Amino acid sequence: MLPLLRTTFVTLLFCHVTHVVAQVVVTGQVIDERTNEALPFVHVSLSGSQQGVLADSEGRFALRVPALPAMVSVSYVGYPTVEVEVATAQPVIVRMRSLSRDLREAVVRPGVNPAHRIMEAVYRNRKQNDGLNAGSFRYKSYAKTIFTIEADSTLISDSTRTTAFDTSQQEILDFTSQQHILIIESATERSFRPPNGDHEEVLAMRVSGFEDPGLLALAATTRTFSIYEPLIPLGEKSYMSPVGAGTASSYLFVLEDTLYQDVDTVFVITYRPRTGKNFDGLAGTLWVNSDGYALQNVIAGPVDRGDGQGVKVQQVHRKVNGTWFPVQLNTTYFFDGISLDGFHPIGIGRVQLRDIETGIDVSRKEVRGAELDLDPMALKRDEAYWRSLRTDSLTAKDLKTYHVIDSLSKAENLGKTLKGLDALLTGRIPWGPVDIELKRLISANAYEDVRLGVGLSTNDRVSRVARAGGWFGYGFGDGGWKYGGDLRIKPMPSRALELRGYYANDLVESAGIAYRGPRSLLLNDDIRLLYLDRMDRVERIGGEVHFRIGSALKAWVGTASELRINDLGYRYVQPRAENVQQYISDFRSGEVSVDLRYAFREQVAQLPDRQVNLGTKWPILHISSATGIAGLWGGEQQWWRISAMTEKTFRTRRLGTPSVRIMAGMADADAPYPFLFNIRGTRGKAFWVNTPYAFETMVPGEFLADRFVAVHYRHSFGRLLLKTRKWQPIPSILSSAGVGALGHPENHSGYDFHSMEKGFFESGVEVLFKNDLSALGVGVYYRYGDYALPDAADNLYLKLTIGIGL
C-alpha cells in the first residue's frame, strides 16, 4: 500500500509540475489610449475563460497561459472589452479607449438591484474587514510623490493641439516631458495599538531641491482613511462614505461586472450620488470580494471639484494573516485653480506597505510620544539605503528631476525660500539673523484706530536654544507709543518646554479674556479685536514656563508685576470709612497665573526643531486663571478670576457642519472692572464685519459680569442647498445666548453697562459666496428677549461676512 501511495503521489506531483512548467506567464500594462495613464484593477483573462487576474493600481498584470501565442481578454468599467494576441513573452502594452457615455439615473425597483444586496453585505461585515480598525498592527512603508503638469499626458498624444502651442507653452511641455517639477520620497515605520495608540517614525525623507524639507516632512505620514468609516476626510472636507446604513437612498450603485479570481468572485460596483441628492459625496468604483464581502480595491474622489482643487484616491487591500488590510495607497492631487499658460499642476503619490503584521502585541511604550516623529538621520540617508527601500528603480525622469532641481535649488537658494515660507506661516519673515514679526507691523482697533510698528526677534541662525526679541508701535488714535521685549529659552529645542521673561508697555482689553495655544495668522476670530474701544494702559514685567503634560495637556504657569491705568474715565469705588469712598483708576497687582489647554487625542508631529499640532476630532478645552496677591511684587489689589472655553465642529453626512463654542467664567465680585468679564459684543458704529463666536448685535462693553455663561451655535450647510459653477452660496444659521450676574455694580463708576441676569439672545442668517479659497457675503442678525431694544428696527443688524480657506 505504501509504495502504491508513494507512486501515486509522485505521479500527481510530476503532472502538476509539468503543467506549471508548461505554462507561460504573460506580463504587461494596461493604459488609456488617449491619456497614456495607467488603468488600475483591470480584469485580464484568457479569451473564453472567466478565470483571470486583476491588474494592480499601476495597470500591471501577470497572467499564466498554457502556451504562446495566446489570446488575452482585457475588460474594464467604462471601456469596451479588448482582445490582444500575445505571441512572445515580452511585456505587452494594452491600450483601451474609453466609452463616451452619459451615466444616467438608473430606474431600479426596490429589492431588485443586486448591487444593493452586495453593499448591504459589505456594511454588515465592515468590522471584521476593516483592517485599520480591527486591532493592533505594524508595518513599514515606502512612498514616492511627484508633481508635474496635467497636460503632460493629455496633450502629448494630441498632435493637432501641440502644433498650435506658443513658445512658452512648448517650453513647459518640453520640460515636463523630460522631468517632473518636484519629487518626494519617504519611508516610515508605523505601529498602532487600539483604541488610539498610534506612532509613525519617518525613517528616511528626500525632497528634490531641499536639504531640509521643514514642514514638508509632514507629508511623509501614511495615515489614510478607512472606506468603512461614515465620513471620509479628503483634504479639508469630509464626504459621506458609500458604505453605510441606508446609503442606497443617497448613492446610485451599479453592478458593472462580475469577475472570477481563483476561488473567489469579485463584484465591480460603480457609485455616485443620485440625481437630486445634494450632499458632499464621492464617486468611484468598488471591487467587492466574495470572501467575507470585503472591499478589495477602492477608487474614490469628490464629485465636485469646484474649490479649485481636488483629490482622487485608490486603495488596494489584501488578506494579511486572515485580515483584510491596505497594501497600496495611491493619491492624485488636482490643482485646477492654478494655471500656467493653460496647464495645471498635478501631484501623484504612491505608497507601498510591506512587512505588515496584524493581530500582534503592540506595547504602550511602542506608541508613546508624538504620532509622527522624524528620525534625525532621516534626511541624511545615502543612495544604498534608498535602493533597499524602493520596490522599483527610479525612472529616468525621476533621476533627472533630482539632478536638475537640486542644481537649481543651489543656484536659486530654494532652501532659504522654503524656510522663509515656513516662517511666514508662523507669522515671521526671516531677515538674516532676525525675524520680522508680522503681527507687529500693523493692527487696528476702535481705541487706537491704526497702529504701526516693528517687531524683531533672533532666529535659529543665532541660537536654537535662546531667542530674544523687541518691538515698538504707535497708535494714531490715542497718540501713544507702545514697546516691549522678551527672552525665550528652550533647553530642548524640539520639545514643548520653554522659559520666557518679558517686559511690555502696551494696551490690553479691559476685562477681556484671552486663551493660550496655537493661532493662525489669518483668523476670523481676530476680527473682534477691531471693535475694542475700552482698553487699559499696562506696564507689565513677568516670567512664565510653558510645558506639556502627556500628549493632551499644555500648561503655562507664570507670575508678573502689573500696573494698569484707565484713561477713559472709569473709577473703581472703594469704601474707606463711613461715608468715605476712594475712586481709583490705576491698579497695581502682583499676579500668579495658570493657563491650560486640553485636547483629547490630539495628534502631534515631532520635527527636529518643533512640535506641530495636527488636530483632534474631540472638543478642545481652554482654561485661563489668575489671582492678584496683595504684597506680591508690590501689588496692592487682591482679586481672582477663572474662565473656560470649549469648542467643537461636528461633521455630519447629510446635514452640513454644525459647530458650537461655550464660554463661562467666575471672578471675585469685589474686584475692579479690569478683572471682571466684558461680554464680547461687536455691534459697531463705523465697522460692519461679522465676528464668529461673539454677539453680533451687542454693543462692545454693553454688559459686565463677575459670573457668566455664553453659548454660540453655528450651522453651515456648505453647498448642500445649492451648487453653482462660480460663486458658490454657502448659507449658515446661527444663534447665541448668554446669561450673567454682577454682584456689586455700585463699585464701578464712569462706564455705562448692564448686567445680564435676564439672558441675552440673538439669531441670524449668513450667506457666503465662495470662490476658490476665499468667500464674501452678508449676514442678518436679530436681537430679542428682555434686552431687545424698544424700536424693533434697531434689533435688526446687517454685516459683511468674510471667510478664509473655507
pLDDT tens-digit map of 144-160:
998 888 754 444 445 55
Residue 413: per-residue pLDDT = 67
Average pLDDT, the chain: 85
State the pairing for strand pair 231-234/586-599: unpaired
Concatenate the DSSP letters of all residues of 769-798 into one string.
Answer: EEETTEEEEEEEEEEESTT--SSGGGGEEE
Give the number of other CB atoms < 10 A from CB of residue 620. 19
What is residue 522's predicted lDDT score, i.e. its pLDDT? 44
Q: Which of 436, 509, 451, 510 is nearest to 482 (CA)?
A: 451
Please tell me which residue, 3 or 705, carries the higher pLDDT value: 705
Cell 526677534, located at residue: 457
Q: What is the pLDDT of residues 324-337, one digit of tens each?
A: 999 999 998 888 77
Among 682, 690, 683, which Cα is nearest to 799's? 690
Q: Would you list the DSSP string of 751-776?
A: ---B--TT-EEEEEEEEEEEETTEEE
CB-based contact 173:151 (threshold 8 Å): yes
- Condensed to tens digits (0 to 9), the pLDDT of residues 575-613 reads 777 777 889 999 999 999 999 999 998 888 877 767 777
Cell 473656560, residue?
644
pLDDT, greater one: 235 or 701: 701
In this structure, which amino acid lies at residue 656? G
SS3 sequence, 367-426?
HCCCCEEECCCHHHCCHHHHHHHCCCCCCHHHHHHHHHHHHHHHHHCHHHHHHHHHHHHC
Which residues does 343 contact at the CB level (< 8 Å), separation at least 6? 149, 150, 151, 169, 172, 173
pLDDT band for position 773 (50/70/90)? low
Instruction: Identify the pLDDT of residue 104.
Output: 41
Cell numbers given for 88:
512572445
User: Does 135 score more than 60 pLDDT?
Assistant: yes
pLDDT band at 134 (very low <50, low <70, confident <90, very high): confident
Give yes or no for a contact between 274 and 105, defined as CB atoms under 8 angstroms apart.
Answer: yes
Amino acid identity of residue 405, one-letter, is: I
Measured in degrees and rounded to the nearest 5, phi and psi for residue 240 equal: -70, 125
Q: CA–CA distance from 336 to each of 61, 114, 772 (Å)?
A: 32, 37, 10
Would you state the torsion angle of the CA atoms of residues 712, 717, 718, 723, taken in this order, to the nearest 10 degrees? -150
Question: What percent of the chain has pLDDT above 70?
Answer: 87
Q: What is the mean pLDDT of residues 187-205?
A: 91
Q: Which residue has the higher pLDDT, 66 or 471?
A: 471
> If we measure between CA atoms, which residue out of 519, 486, 482 comes closest to residue 503?
486
Count Cβ atoms below 10 Å from residue 133 Cβ, excluding itself: 15
pLDDT at residue 219 tops 90? no
Asked if the model's pLDDT at residue 362 lies above 60, the reply is yes
Confidence of residue 52 (pLDDT cuts 50, 70, 90): confident
CA distance 159 to 180: 21
Q: What is the reported pLDDT for 724?
A: 58
DSSP letter string over 648-698?
A: EE---SSS-EEEEEEEEEEE-TTS-GGGSEE--B---SS--B--TTSBTTS
Give the whole-number percent of the chain exceeding pLDDT 90. Answer: 47
Residue 380 burial (CB count, 10 A): 12
- Is the pLDDT at 350 greater than 60? The verdict is yes
Contact 21, 64 (CB under 8 A): no
Question: Among positive and negative, which fits the CA dihedral 12, 14, 15, 20?
Answer: positive
Least confident of 453-462, 488-497, 555-564, 665-674: 488-497
What is the dihedral angle through the alpha carbons of 548, 550, 554, 555, rounded to the nearest 10 degrees?
-70
Q: List the single range of 252-261, 680-689, 714-723 with lowest mean pLDDT.
A: 714-723
Residue that wins the pLDDT comparison between 634 and 22: 634
pLDDT reading at 22 higher than 70:
no
Extended strands (E) in 227-293 = 231-234, 237-240, 251-261, 264-273, 282-289
For the chain, how big is the Rg over CA atoms in Å?
A: 32
The whole-number pLDDT of residue 723 equals 60
Secondary structure class of 68 (helix, strand, coil) = coil
Q: Is the per-residue pLDDT at 23 higher than 90?
A: no
Which pLDDT value is given to residue 594? 97
Q: What is the DSSP string of 3-17?
A: HHHHHHHHHHHHHHH
Q: Find out whether 571 and 749 touch, Cβ atoms under 8 Å.
A: yes
Which pLDDT score is estimated for 211? 76
pLDDT of residue 352: 92
State the CB neighbour count (10 A cutoff) for residue 268: 22
d(CA 171, CA 179): 12
Distance CA 219, CA 240 (A): 24
**688 φ/ψ angles, rounded to the nearest 5 degrees:** -135, 70
The most confident of the ranges 77-81, 113-117, 162-166, 489-493 is 113-117
Over residues 632-689, the pLDDT tens digits come to: 999 998 999 999 999 998 887 777 889 999 999 999 999 999 999 999 999 987 678 8
47-51, 225-229, 472-476: range with lowest mean pLDDT: 47-51
Confidence of residue 521 (pLDDT cuts 50, 70, 90): very low
Q: Which residues contact 405 (CB under 8 A, 6 or more apart)?
A: 179, 181, 182, 183, 208, 209
Q: Which of 83-87, 116-120, 409-413, 785-789 has the lowest mean pLDDT?
A: 409-413
Average pLDDT, integer, range 732-744? 96
Cα 129 to Cα 265, 290, 296, distances in angstroms? 16, 12, 10
Helix (H, G, I), strand (E, B) or coil at 292: coil
**Most confident segment among 261-275, 364-378, 512-526, 718-732:** 261-275
Flag whether pLDDT at 496 surpasses 80: no
Q: Which residues pair with 470 in a beta bridge?
A: 456, 485
Rounded CA separation 412/416 (Å): 9
In the block, cell 503592540 appears at: 362
Is 90 exceeded by the pLDDT of residue 452? Answer: yes
Report residue 150 as a C-alpha cell: 496635467
Q: Which DSSP symbol is given to 525? A: G
Q: What is the mean pLDDT of residues 303-316?
A: 80
The whole-angstrom separation of Cα 663 and Cα 161 is 60
pLDDT above 90 for 255: yes
416-436 tens-digit pLDDT: 666 666 666 677 888 889 999
| Mean predicted confidence (pLDDT) in 190-218 | 85
Please give the average per-residue pLDDT across 386-397, as a whole number: 87
For residue 742, the 8-state DSSP code is -
pLDDT band at 105 (very low <50, low <70, confident <90, very high): very low
Query: Is the CB of residue 656 less than 8 Å from the CB of residue 714?
Result: no
Does 505 score more than 60 pLDDT?
yes
CB 198 within 8 A of CB 189: no
